[in-house]
Amino acid sequence: MARTDNDTWDLASSVGSTATMVAAQRVLAHREGLIDDPFAEPLVRAVGSSFFTRALDGEIRFEEIDPQFDPRRAAESMTVRTRHFDRLFTDAAAAGIRQAVILAAGLDARAYRLDWPAGTTVYELDQPAVIAFKTETLAELGAEPRADRRAIAVDLRDDWPAALRDSGFDPTRPTAWIAEGLLIYLPPAAQDLLFDRIDALSAPGSRVATEHIPDVSMFADERSQEIAERIRKYGQDIDMAELIYHGERNDVVDYLTARGWDVTAQKMPDAYAANGFEFPTDGPTAHFADMSYLRAVKR
Ligand code: SAM
């Protein structure tokens, strides 16, 4: 279904289903031994979408959905992504930062799986149904956060800075932020507002990691539509063309640089090489050659 200004979702619907999709990809990376996320699989299964459960059980062959799909390559792609965002937090922790914010947390289990130094507070923000589901499911699994986790149910198009402050966030202390897999789901103006707000809440020395996809046309091309159609036959609606916002948007590197952040951008082929992988020249990942992983430090 097309996006609207105040739309909401859970983990099986609309934008929420993309959180389940990337968590399923983390399952592949975990199974390959490339990342350590033991929570991804039970979380995806708990969502209860038969499409994802059957795919993880091998009952739906990925190649049936996308003839170009290769599970190992998908695992490597998610590994590069996961390590990029993990590193933002581990480096920030090593630099003494004890306040972390996971924007659009989805099924991100970093609060439960990373080795946070004592005294760290981790804020997680996402839509109410998403936040509630993850909190309850991980509690039922007996998982315990490894930091002072504060889950905030809020729409990132609303006044989330107020909700963050109400939960104890201290803007005078440096913060480590991540916005992973979020920007394409925000309208261009909302993306700018997101970074304006991050900037306003960030003391010097704060860090942020995100990704920049300069061209999102691959989410709406014929191949993408065919994949959405095949997934729909299994009862799951994930039509990326409808879920993301198209059109021109500001370049995150320029935007943050202009606001006093030192930004480092790594294009996908370099990010692959840094992880010891070869960037594929064909298949689904090849469409993301121009995508960059970014990290920035506020001066
Ligand atoms: N960061 C997580 C990860 O990488 O596993 C989830 C990424 S998922 C592709 C996109 C996430 O953005 C979903 O969890 C969704 O609920 C969240 N999201 C998108 N737009 C949002 C909004 N306006 N308010 C709150 N959450 C939003």
Decide if pLDDT at 110 tops 80.
yes
Atom of ligand 1 nearest to the CA of 21: 9
Q: What is the pLDDT of residue 286?
A: 87
Predicted TM-score of the model (pTM) = 0.97
Question: What's the pLDDT tens digit per position in 244-275?
Answer: 999 899 999 999 999 999 999 999 999 999 99
Q: What is the pLDDT of residue 285?
A: 86
Ligand 1 atom 17 nearest Cα? 104
Instruction: Yes or no: say if 292 and 80 are a contact pair by the CB < 8 Å rule.
Output: no
Atom of ligand 1 nearest to the CA of 127: 25
> How many angstroms does the Cα of residue 160 sit away from the middle of ligand 1?
14
Question: What's the pLDDT tens digit per position in 125-144?
Answer: 999 999 999 999 999 999 99
Ligand 1 atom 23 nearest Cα? 156
The residue among 217, 238, 270 whose CA lies nearest residue 15 is: 238
Question: What's the pLDDT tens digit per position in 32-54?
Answer: 999 999 999 999 999 999 999 99
Ligand 1 atom 14 nearest Cα? 106
Question: What's the pLDDT tens digit per position in 191-220?
Answer: 999 999 999 999 999 999 999 999 999 999
* % of the chain at pLDDT higher than 90: 95
Q: What is the pLDDT of residue 63?
A: 86
> Across the chain, how many H-helices and E-strands are there?
13, 7
Ligand 1 atom 16 nearest Cα? 16
Ligand 1 atom 5 nearest Cα? 108
Decide if pLDDT at 1 tops 80.
no
Mean pLDDT of the chain: 96
Q: What is the pLDDT of residue 189?
A: 94
Q: What is the pLDDT of residue 283?
A: 83
Instruction: Yes or no: say if 172 and 9 are a contact pair by the CB < 8 Å rule.
Output: no
> How many angstroms does the Cα of residue 16 sit away from the middle of ligand 1?
7
Q: What is the pLDDT of residue 287?
A: 86
Q: What is the pLDDT of residue 273?
A: 98
Residues 6+ apart with CB under 8 A from 96: none
Give the mutation target among 6, 9, 11, 15 for probing the ligand 1 site: most ligand atoms within 8 A of CB: 15
Q: Dihedral of CA 286/216/253/295: which sign?
A: negative
Using a 6 Å CB cutoff, which residues line ligand 1? Answer: 15-16, 18-19, 22-23, 104-108, 126-127, 130, 155-157, 180-182, 185
Euclidean distance between CA atoms 95 and 83, whole angstroms: 18
Question: What's the pLDDT tens digit per position in 67-104?
Answer: 999 999 999 999 999 999 999 999 999 999 999 999 99
> How many angstroms does the Cα of residue 126 sit away from the middle of ligand 1?
6
